[in-house]
Amino acid sequence: MTEQVKTQLEYMDKISKINKGKNLKYHIITMGCQLNENDSEKIAGMLMKMQYAETIDSHDANILIFNTCCVRENSEEKLFGKIGETKKLRKEKGTIVAICGCMMQEKHITEKIKKSYPFIDIIFGTHTLYKFAEDLYNLLQNKKKIVDVIDIDGEIYEGLPIKRNDNKKANVIIMYGCNNFCSYCIVPYVRGRERSRSPQDILNEVRELAKEGYKEITLLGQNVNSYAGKCRGELCSPEMPLREVFLPQANAVRPYTDNTSLRLRYSEYGNALDQTWDFAILLKEVAKIDGIETIRFLSPHPKDFTDEVIEAISENKKVSRWIHLPLQSGSTNVLKLMNRKYTKEQYLNLVEKIKNKIPDVVLSTDIIVGFPGETEEDFEDTLEVVKKVGFEQVYMFIYSKRIGTPAAEAQDQISEDIKHKRFDRLKKLVDAEVQKNNQKYIGKTEKILVEGFSKNNENMLTGRNSANKIIVFEGNSDLIGKTVEIKITSEHQWYLRGKVENNIERTSK
Ligand code: 5AD
Ligand code: SF4
């Protein structure tokens, strides 16, 4: 734990003393991806330490937090609508209103908030999230509005409290930031450069989760397969047998791996203590942790999907057979304009390689339609790739201009009309492909972790199979948190329906 985190824990302690016995509540509204969800879990952890309890009703909260996303434009409209509504709440109830997350790293947004919504109490960015307790303490003491946003990349702060949203499935961040600068994307500007957590911190977190009864973890990062975590002055994994191994290349950066274990160049070259691990090694070591049944990861970049990563997945049944492989466009021309660093052919070759090595793999993807300069031919290339790959799931986005990104400056923007028409054509194809694909599940038995009741039908339970497919079935609440076998009876585009075949695990947490 760093000095900075210790200081923050002291602030949490001070606020906890101020708040004791007051029965205070918090409510967090999270927008965007799982990385934001994880940040919200950390904010919730800090709030719990400061004697705030969670409430699902924002009107009942003493502190209301908006954790924002800025990947696409519609999040801005959503946020401004919602914060406008809090003015009354703040006036009548004295609710503290704080806004944080990616959008706060954009200067034009914080300026707009300061000007049009001056009642907001705290604005903090992605790099200052760890200082939330200090900001809140200063607000409570001095009654002055706080704006705490910095541009420089934040460090990695280990040891902050966390309150997880689930007790069987957990997200584990392995790296922060992104170095890729895809020309449409705002993320590198608001999340900073890549910073990998050390392998020890990740493995310790997963071991703790396993001890607490968690069964499924998702390793998270903007670009997980460029993970490069340095071991900090101690052995990365106590499970690793330390033997002297002969390595022909004294300067090889990657530790030597074989089928049974990962061995470090230890005695020969004496630098085992500061080895750098890549994603393949991390995946193999995480898979060795007992108690964790399923490991997922989000999101990899096709350009960094190495043979070692494919091998690590194929060798480890615990690693989910669902791989999310963002395509963005099927046209080599557009991919170049997007700065994606692969061609249509390279993407298709990668898919072939993955399918050969992992025969039961299922793929999902992200696609942007209407990128500046996208011609009808380019768009047809995208349709062709979708047909060739046979994705299980496609997340489709209409290109959205992000201020400060190169693509926003392009002269050849596509009209809204064409963007929407292309989106509809892609959706029609995707729907048909997904339906075709789903047929293969009918009659099969799928092993799943039961997550809870379905949001759309509270008499039904849901869970996801290894391919991340939602499965809905009848059952009662004591199955929640257990692993069961479900026989699939029908497909419904975005989910499969089935019947409990066998309750595998009878003990619950
Ligand atoms: N417009 C539309 N979609 C975008 N994405 C990222 N930036 C933009 C943008 N400016 C999509 C990409 C990415 C997903 C998380 O969001 O497909 O993979
Ligand atoms: Fe954005 Fe590209 Fe980085 Fe993904 S890899 S976060 S799309 S810049």
Using a 6 Å cutoff on CB, does residue 402 contact ligand 1?
yes
Return d(Cα 175, Cα 220) in angstroms, integer: 7
Using a 6 Å cutoff on CB, does residue 222 contact ligand 2?
yes
Once rounded to an integer, what is the mean pLDDT over residues 304-330? Answer: 95
Residue 415 exposed, middle or buried by CB count within 10 Å (0-12, 13-18, 19+)? exposed
Once rounded to an integer, what is the mean pLDDT over residues 302-324? Answer: 94
Ligand 1 test: best mutation among 220, 397, 400, 416, most atoms within 8 Å of CB? 397
Q: What is the pLDDT of residues 423-443, one digit of tens each?
A: 999 999 999 999 988 999 999
Alpha carbon of residue 264 to chain centroid: 30
Give the DSSP H/E element, type plus range, for residue 277.
strand 276-277
What is the structure's pLDDT at 275? 67
Once rounded to an integer, what is the mean pLDDT over residues 316-345? Answer: 97
Using a 6 Å cutoff on CB, does residue 326 contact ligand 1?
yes
> Token digits for 400?
């959205």
Ligand 2 test: best mutation among 69, 190, 223, 342, most atoms within 8 Å of CB? 223
Rg value, the chain, Cα:
24
Return d(Cα 214, Cα 291) in angstroms, integer: 7
- Residue keyed to tokens 């409209």: 77
Once rounded to an integer, what is the mean pLDDT over residues 387-402? Answer: 95
What are the angstrom distances between the C-alpha of 40 and each of 45, 68, 107, 298? Answer: 8, 10, 22, 18
Q: Nearest-CA neighbor of 187 among 222, 156, 227? A: 222
Cα of 408 to ligand 2 centre, how many Å? Answer: 15
Q: How many CA atoms lie within 13 A of 241 on its CB side?
A: 8
- Residue keyed to tokens 């074989």: 258
Instruction: Tell me which residue has its CA closest to atom 9 in ligand 1.
Output: 400
> Is-contact 203 232, C-beta < 8 A?
no
Runs of H (alpha helix) within 299-443: 307-315, 332-338, 344-357, 376-389, 406-409, 416-438
Instruction: Tell me which residue has its CA closest to atom 5 in ligand 2.
Output: 180
Cα of 180 to ligand 2 centre, how many Å? Answer: 6
Cα of 477 to ligand 2 centre, how many Å? Answer: 39
Atom of ligand 1 nearest to the CA of 405: 10
Once rounded to an integer, what is the mean pLDDT over residues 70-84? Answer: 87
Instruction: Tell me which residue has its CA closest to atom 2 in ligand 2.
Output: 182
Cα of 368 to ligand 2 centre, how many Å? Answer: 12
What ligand has the least distance to the C-alpha of 397?
A: 1
Atom of ligand 1 nearest to the CA of 184: 10
Cα of 397 to ligand 1 centre, how many Å? Answer: 6
257: pLDDT strictly greater than 60:
no
- Over pLDDT 90: what percentage of the chain? 74
Report helix, strand or coil for 430: helix
326: pLDDT strictly greater than 70:
yes
Strands 195-196 and 175-176: antiparallel
What ligand has the least distance to the C-alpha of 300?
A: 2
273: pLDDT strictly greater than 50:
no
> Is-contact 28 40, C-beta < 8 A?
yes
What is the structure's pLDDT at 153? 75
Segment among 56-60, 234-238, 299-303, 346-350 with least mean pLDDT:
234-238
What totals of helices (H) and strands (E) does the chain contain, helices first? 14, 23
Ligand 2 test: best mutation among 222, 226, 328, most atoms within 8 Å of CB? 222
- Which residue(s) pair with 487 in the sheet? 445, 499
What is the structure's pLDDT at 467? 80
Once rounded to an integer, what is the mean pLDDT over residues 336-365? Answer: 97
Once rounded to an integer, what is the mean pLDDT over residues 391-400? Answer: 95
Once rounded to an integer, what is the mean pLDDT over residues 380-390? Answer: 97
Give the DSSP H/E element, type plus range, for residue 52.
strand 52-54
Return d(Cα 161, Cα 13) in angstroms, integer: 12
Return d(Cα 227, Cα 483) in angstroms, integer: 31
390: pLDDT strictly greater than 60:
yes
Using a 6 Å cutoff on CB, does residue 224 contact ligand 2?
no
What ligand has the least distance to the C-alpha of 225?
A: 2
Atom of ligand 2 nearest to the CA of 299: 4
Using a 6 Å cutoff on CB, does residue 40 contact ligand 2?
no
What is the structure's pLDDT at 232? 63
Q: What is the pLDDT of residues 90-106, one digit of tens each?
A: 889 999 999 999 999 99
Return d(Cα 299, Cα 278) in angstroms, integer: 15
263: pLDDT strictly greater than 80:
no
Longest Cα separation, the chain: 72
Return d(Cα 132, Cα 16) in angstroms, integer: 14
Atom of ligand 1 nearest to the CA of 398: 2
Report helix, strand or coil for 231: coil
Using a 6 Å cutoff on CB, does residue 393 contact ligand 1?
no
- What's the first-to-final CA gap in the chain, in angstroms? 29
What ligand has the least distance to the C-alpha of 221?
A: 2
Using a 6 Å cutoff on CB, does residue 464 contact ligand 2?
no
Q: What is the pLDDT of residues 128-152, one digit of tens each?
A: 999 999 999 999 999 899 999 998 7
Runs of H (alpha helix) within 94-173: 107-116, 132-142
Instruction: Tell me which residue has its CA closest to atom 4 in ligand 2.
Output: 222
Using a 6 Å cutoff on CB, does residue 481 contact ligand 1?
no
- Which residue(s) pair with 28 in the sheet? 65
Atom of ligand 1 nearest to the CA of 367: 17
Using a 6 Å cutoff on CB, does residue 488 contact ligand 2?
no
